Chain A
Amino acid sequence: MTTVAHHKLSLAQALNRALRDAMAEDPTVVMFGEDVGALGGVFRITDGLTAEFGEDRCFDTPLAESGIVGMAVGMAMNGMRPVVEMQFDAFAYPAFEQIVSHVAKMRNRTRGRVALPMVIRVPYAGGIGGVEHHCDSSEAYYAHTPGLQVVAPATPADGYALLRAAIADPDPVIFLEPKKLYWSKEEIEFPVRAPGIGTAVVRRAGTDATLIAYGPTVPVALEAAEVAAQEGRSLQVVDLRSIVPFDDETVCAAVRSTGRAVVVAESSGFAGVSAEIVARVTERCFAALAAPIRRVTGFDIPYPPPKLEHFQLPGVDRVLDAVDDLQWEES
């Protein structure tokens, strides 16, 4: 019999608990990276894991991201389920060759003989007043690489459920953790029942237009919908949860139900995930659309310094302005 328990956890705490539960259940799960041992990670996501599971299960490495990811590839080849932490989004780039040339391709290169069950955790995106190289939205690089799965939780419950699913998955997962949501809390019911990787969810019902968001922009979209409701407009909010695989079915059903959509994403718009969403939804739902799909994204600029970052981040007003532009007068 399963005992149901409720805990109010922040996203950071939920991720920590997911790691702890996965490591307790499966002795092949190992966690490593920079400062993840005694310190518990710069965001404390690995807090207490070395103390609980020992130095062989959660350990610090030399400061070399390619080496970290490359070593994880080898350990995954040899029966382990490594979870590695890239300290910040922009510090993951030295590992890019390993991720693109090996992590993503090993299963395909070997006709499925060598699987790489591994998770690359990346604290990502902005909104925390971080200095340069600490706030990149790097999802498009990964999403553009066949063989990777890319997920971005927006809530503590999803953080827990998606990380457990990612660790259990037979294929590699890029796990993007929105830094600015680390401290947001919610009541989570354990055991967590949540759809797996590749499933989007409608976070808020609405009938006039659909806001499509993922990771750090989900709370922005929800807030925008709340404000819009007060102004008499009913906005639906879809949280992608998973960028790859992409849940066309849920997203398209949502857009068809309203006929209008705005994609809200923090990363630069050009050639970004937001552009892909607009393209694929338009290809599939053109006849149901009353207006072109609009995007509210970061500008096509290097991430700004802390005192200017509020210009870069999609905010409620910008989202509502885009909603206003959805050719309402013609309907």
Chain B
Amino acid sequence: MTPDLRRLLPSDSPVTLIDPDGHATGDVPDDATLLRSLGALITARRLNDQAYALVRQGRLAVYPSSHGQEACQVAAAQVLRPQDWLFPTYRDTVAATVKGVDPVEALSLLKGDWHCGYDPYEHHVAPHTTPLATQLPHAVGVAHAARLRGEPAVVMAMCGDGGTSEGDFHEALNFAAVFHAPVVFFVQNNEYAISVPLSRQTAAPSLAHKGVGYGVPGERVDGNDMAALLTVLGAAVERARAGQGPQLVEAHTYRMQAHTNADDATRYRDDAEVAAWVGRDPITRLRAYLTGRGALTAEADAEFAAAAERAAAHLRDGLNQDVEPNPEDLFAYVYSTPTTQLREQAALVADELSREVAQA
């Protein structure tokens, strides 16, 4: 094997630094870093479960939960600096909130008030993207523009295992490699694309191996190991920032819940499979590690729980508010200046509304 090829190939097995029982197996980040991540993980789990509950209460249309994948969500955002960009999919709401987006604004899409509820420029978080992998070429463009201007920004481009089958995944990796763009492609392999298992997406040895064909180094990481994620993603980000080009990181994780509340996961997977992943929970694992080292005090743990409750209360309060949508918004943002035709159509709706008021 040539050194060039070896440089591109991922590890033989996913990088793990803390085993599922909470024991270190390698160079683990310092306690302060991991405590910060644990706090974020606990809030992340709480937000996932709160959002899920809000669907049942009719406040959200659906919620694609990242329950079980929170370590990926937290790490993706925590390895970034404020100037760096995050490109989330619909399952990456929590990652967007860790980057700074208000969870209420992040869930505007699923609440139905508007499509993207936050200002992408405020925290450098692109709009959630629903058509699979289509955000990845955008991530390359943002990174390439930053590089042309000499800005030290890196882009974290997220997708799932299903997304790696889409053409845009391949085009984005290829463009990023050719243009040496500072992008980290972060694939959360959670084993399922709605109901279709990974075996139907690819016959490759791993998703991380897909980088080889583009000259993009690939790496695999235990997606439920916070320490390993921070280390692998952090190295990829700093490598990109240093001008060494893109990297592909595949995290092995598991979607603990159905695709969304509208999905029935019992039709395509066994309870035993789900139960096996409970034992690899990212929060349990990190808490066991920090507790074992005596780094996690009862006070700190209580404060994490309280912070998570505050975040959940903020989400509930925000989503329980009924904001009357403004029909004028239908026409206001299609173009910078509405066309004559759109002004006529807006007037038609306004006229309908005024007649409704007159009749009432």
A303 to B127 CA separation, bound complex (whole angstroms): 39
A248's partner among B136, B143, B340 (CB-CB below 8 A) is B340
Query: Which of A66-74, A127-135, A230-238 is near enough to bind chain B?
Result: A66-74
| Inter-chain contact B142/A98, CB cutoff 8 Å | no
| Inter-chain contact B175/A71, CB cutoff 8 Å | yes
| Inter-chain contact A107/B175, CB cutoff 8 Å | no
Q: B340 — which chain A residues lie within 8 A by C-beta?
A: 245, 248-249
A109's partner among B127, B138, B140, B167 (CB-CB below 8 A) is B127
Binary B-proximity of A100-120 (CB < 8 A = 1, otherwise 0):
011001111111111100000
Q: A98 — which chain B residues lie within 8 A by C-beta?
A: 134, 137, 168
A102 to B131 CA separation, bound complex (whole angstroms): 10
| Inter-chain contact A77/B171, CB cutoff 8 Å | no
Q: B143 — which chain A residues lie within 8 A by C-beta?
A: 74
| Inter-chain contact A111/B335, CB cutoff 8 Å | no
Q: A113 — which chain B residues lie within 8 A by C-beta?
A: 116, 119-121
| Inter-chain contact B175/A61, CB cutoff 8 Å | yes
Asked if A187 is an interface residue, CB under 8 A from chain B, the answer is no
Interface size counted on chain B using CB atoms at 8 A: 39
A35 to B141 CA separation, bound complex (whole angstroms): 19
| Inter-chain contact A70/B141, CB cutoff 8 Å | yes
B336's partner among A75, A170, A244 (CB-CB below 8 A) is A170
Answer whether A77 and B138 are a contact pair too, CB < 8 Å, given A111-B333, A248-B341. yes
B341's partner among A61, A62, A245 (CB-CB below 8 A) is A245
Asked if A94 is an interface residue, CB under 8 A from chain B, the answer is yes
Asked if A275 is an interface residue, CB under 8 A from chain B, the answer is no
Asked if B38 is an interface residue, CB under 8 A from chain A, the answer is no
A110 CB to closest chain B CB (Å) equals 5
Asked if A80 is an interface residue, CB under 8 A from chain B, the answer is yes
Asked if B293 is an interface residue, CB under 8 A from chain A, the answer is no
Binary A-proximity of B217-253 (CB < 8 A = 1, otherwise 0):
0000000000000000000000000000000000000
| Inter-chain contact A78/B339, CB cutoff 8 Å | no
A170 to B335 CA separation, bound complex (whole angstroms): 8
Q: Which residue of A is nearest B153, CB measured?
A: A78
B339's partner among A30, A170, A198 (CB-CB below 8 A) is A198
Answer whether A78 and B137 are a contact pair too, CB < 8 Å, given A111-B114, A111-B329. no
| Inter-chain contact B168/A107, CB cutoff 8 Å | no
Q: Could you jot down 27 A-B contacts, CB within 8 Å?
A: A61-B175, A61-B178, A64-B167, A64-B171, A64-B174, A66-B137, A67-B137, A67-B140, A71-B138, A71-B140, A71-B144, A73-B141, A74-B140, A75-B145, A77-B145, A78-B142, A97-B168, A107-B335, A107-B336, A108-B115, A109-B127, A110-B120, A110-B127, A113-B120, A114-B127, A171-B335, A246-B341
Q: What 6 A-B pairs have minimum CB-CB distances, sorted nearest first?
A: A74-B141, A70-B137, A67-B171, A78-B145, A74-B138, A71-B141
Q: Chain A residues in contact with chain B, CB under 8 A?
A: 30, 56, 61-62, 64, 66-67, 69-80, 82, 94, 97-98, 101-102, 105-115, 146-147, 149, 170-171, 198, 244-246, 248-249
